[in-house]
Chain A
Amino acid sequence: MAVVLKLDGVSKSFARVEKNDITNALENINLEMHSGEFISLVGTSGCGKSTMLRLIAGLITPTTGTLTVNGEKIEGPATSRGMMFQQHTLFPWLTVEKNIAFADTMAGKNKEQASVDEVNRMLKVIGLENFRVDYPAQLSGGMQQRVALARSLICKPEILLLDEPLGALDSFTRMNMQDEILNLWKENKQLVIMVTHDVDEAIYMGTKVLVMEPHPGRINNIIDIDLEYPRNRASSKFVEYRRQILDLLHFGQKED
Chain B
Amino acid sequence: MFQMLNEKERNEKGLLREDAKSLRKLTREQLAELEEREKTPREKMMDLIITVLPAVVLAISLLEYTIMPDVNPNPMRHIYTVVLAIVFVAYTAAFILGKIKESKGDKKLIRSLRYRAPLYAAIAAILTLYDILTIKTNYFTYPLVPCVNSIMYAAWTDRAELLRCASHTLVLMFKGYGLGVVLGLITGITCGYSRKVNYWIDPILKFMGPIPISTWIPIIAVLSPSLSGGALFIIVVGVWTAVTNASRAGVANVDKAYFDAAKILGASERQLIFKVAIPAAMPNIMAGMTQGMMTACTAIMVAEMMGVKGGLGWYITWVKSWALYNNMFASLFIICLIFTIVTKILNMVKNRVLRWQIGVTK
Contact residues of A with B, CB < 8 Å?
Answer: 54, 57, 59, 76-79, 81-83, 85, 87, 89, 91-94, 102-103, 105-107, 135, 137-138, 151-152, 155
Contacts and interface: CB of A to CB of B under 8 A. Distances in A.
Contacts of B179: none
Interface stretch (B208-216, B240-248, B261-269, B342-350): B261-269
Contacts of B276: 91
Contacts of A107: 266
A59 B359 contact: no
A78 B266 CA distance: 6
A230 B291 CA distance: 61
B17 interface: no
Given A89-B258, A106-B275, A135 B356 contact: yes
Contact of B264 (A57, A93, A94, A105): A57
B280 A106 contact: no
Interface string B272-288: 00011001101000000
Contacts of A76: 263
5 contacts: A59-B264, A79-B265, A92-B357, A106-B275, A107-B266
Please classify how large the interface on chain B is, using the bins under 10, 10 to 19, 20 to 34, 35 or more. Answer: 20 to 34
Contacts of A59: 260, 263-264
A81 B266 CA distance: 10
A77 B263 CA distance: 6
Given A78-B266, A91-B258, 18 more contacts: A57-B264, A76-B263, A77-B264, A79-B265, A89-B258, A89-B260, A91-B262, A93-B279, A93-B280, A93-B356, A94-B356, A102-B262, A135-B359, A137-B356, A137-B359, A137-B360, A151-B265, A152-B265
Interface of B: 255, 257-258, 260-268, 271, 275-276, 279-280, 282, 356-360
Contacts of B279: 91, 93-94
B271 A106 contact: yes
Given A91-B276, A93-B280, A93-B282, A83 B359 contact: no
A106 B266 contact: yes
Contacts of B265: 79, 102-103, 106, 151-152, 155
- In the A-B complex, the 6 residue pairs with the smallest Cβ-Cβ separation, listed nearest first, are A89-B261, A103-B265, A79-B266, A77-B263, A137-B359, A93-B279
B289 to A, nearest CB: 17
A151 B279 CA distance: 18
A244 B268 CA distance: 45
A93 B255 CA distance: 13
B262 A82 contact: no
B282 A152 contact: no
Given A91-B279, A92-B356, A93-B280, A106 B260 contact: no
B267 A106 contact: yes
Contacts of B360: 92, 137
Contacts of A89: 255, 257-258, 260-261
Given A92-B356, A93-B282, A135-B359, A106 B262 contact: yes
Contacts of A155: 265-266
Contacts of A83: 264
Contacts of B264: 57, 59, 77, 79, 81-83, 152
Nearest to A138: B359
A91 B267 CA distance: 13
A155 B265 CA distance: 8
Contacts of B257: 85, 87, 89
B271 to A, nearest CB: 6
B268 A106 contact: yes
Contacts of A93: 279-280, 282, 356
A89 B261 CA distance: 7
B347 to A, nearest CB: 19
A17 to B, nearest CB: 15
Nearest to A59: B260
B276 to A, nearest CB: 7
B260 A85 contact: yes
